[in-house]
Amino acid sequence: MWASGGRGDVRSVMESQANHLGLPSAQSTIKKGLLSVATWNIAYGRGHSGDTSGPWSRSHIVKHLDGIADAITKMELDIIALQEVDFDAARSHHIHQGRYLAEKLGWSHFACVDTWVQNYIPFPYWPPQRHYGKIKSGQCVISRFPLSRNIRYRLPQPEENPKWYNLFYLHRAIQHVSVDVLGESFEIFNVHFEAFNKTNRKKHLEFLIHLLGEEKAMGRIVLGDFNALPPEAKKRNEFKDEPKDDYRNDDSMSLMLSRADFSETFRKLQGKGLTESHTFPAHEPNRRLDYLFGSERFDATRAWIPQAPELSDHLPVATRFQI
């Protein structure tokens, strides 16, 4: 009970402040109305190897964080949404990775939300020297422009899990931030949905659809790790990297892809020279789990999968919008 007791803020909706590093906000990075945005599950700086490949040295984590910052810089972005970011975790040597990356990038604003806060995680189970220990982890948005609102919507855990298991299991979330771009406010929804239970994953998509129905701002971007395949994916199970993953009879992603008020950027630009859009696993991609959507205010002019297979088990998804 002590180990599972550090659960953080348990409110279903929590609003907190974004952070300003004291650096000047961007004034002239947008040229001709272009805004560049990306999403990336960074696997808390452990690289493309699995969750059981640790423990990792501090120099290993820092090397990957520095590589992630360098890759983001080369993408020439204005805003990036991150998943699996550690804030105060023993496995990553208690580095606040959101702040670390914001400072490394030299960007003025970042906002983070907690999704997994525990006193002690006994995983991997054996030997004990490999346990994660203390965990405080979640999602972040890092921006060249001011962030004026930072809300976390806590999502349900799988009801099928044993109660003792859910005591230690993360609470996945939707992070909602408002970004002020040269006098105009836009809404960004950074998501990280259920990976292992298709029933729970569909509940997460349904909550997102409900949330977007409540938040009717014209300028909205939805992006993140949806952990779901597009409906047209032919291979849906028996993956070499994760043989137990089974996406058959899982239509959850259709809930978002079928919306008329949002365009998934790769689909919108289909047939315009785009290459393969698989994002996972990074070193040998065979499926799409990460997506980026823009509402009617955002006209995608370019979408691409930056190649950085050694830095995480996911590849980033980037889009350049004409506002």
The domain spanning residue 203 has which CATH number? 3.60.10.10
**Is there a domain that residue 2 lies in?**
no
323 residues of the chain, pLDDT tens digit each = 899 888 888 899 999 999 999 888 876 566 678 999 999 999 999 999 989 999 999 999 999 999 999 999 999 999 999 999 999 999 999 999 999 999 999 999 999 999 999 999 999 988 888 999 999 999 999 999 999 999 999 999 999 999 999 999 999 999 999 999 888 899 999 999 999 999 999 999 999 999 999 877 779 999 999 999 999 899 999 999 999 999 999 999 999 999 989 999 988 887 554 456 899 999 999 999 999 999 988 999 999 999 999 999 999 999 999 98
115: nearest Cα among 247, 10, 266: 10
> Residues near 57 by Cβ (< 8 Å), separated by ≥ 6?
none
Quick check: is 292 in a domain? yes
Q: Report the length, in residues, of the chain.
A: 323
Whether residue 1 is contained in a domain is answered as no
Q: What is the model's pLDDT at position 23?
A: 87
Domain with 86, as residue range(s), is 13-25+33-322
H-assigned helices in 96-172: 97-105, 163-168
What 3-state class would DSSP assign to 35?
A: strand
The answer to whether residue 5 sits within a structural domain is no
7 domain-assigned: no
Q: What single letter denotes the amino acid at residue 153?
A: Y
Burial (CB count <10 Å: 0-12, 13-18, 19+), residue 271? exposed
Q: What is the pLDDT of residue 253?
A: 96
pLDDT of residue 97: 98
Question: Is residue 321 helix, strand or coil?
Answer: strand
Q: Is residue 170 part of a domain?
A: yes
Q: For the whole model, what pTM was predicted? A: 0.95
What is the predicted pLDDT for the residue at 269?
Answer: 85
Q: Tell me, what's the pLDDT at 29?
A: 61
Query: What was the pLDDT predicted at 8?
Result: 84
Q: Does some domain include residue 8?
A: no
Closest CA to 139 of 180, 160, 110, 179: 110
3 located within any domain: no
Q: Is the dihedral of CA 66, 71, 75, 81 positive or negative?
A: negative
Predicted local confidence at residue 299, as pLDDT = 93
Q: How many domains does the chain have?
A: 1
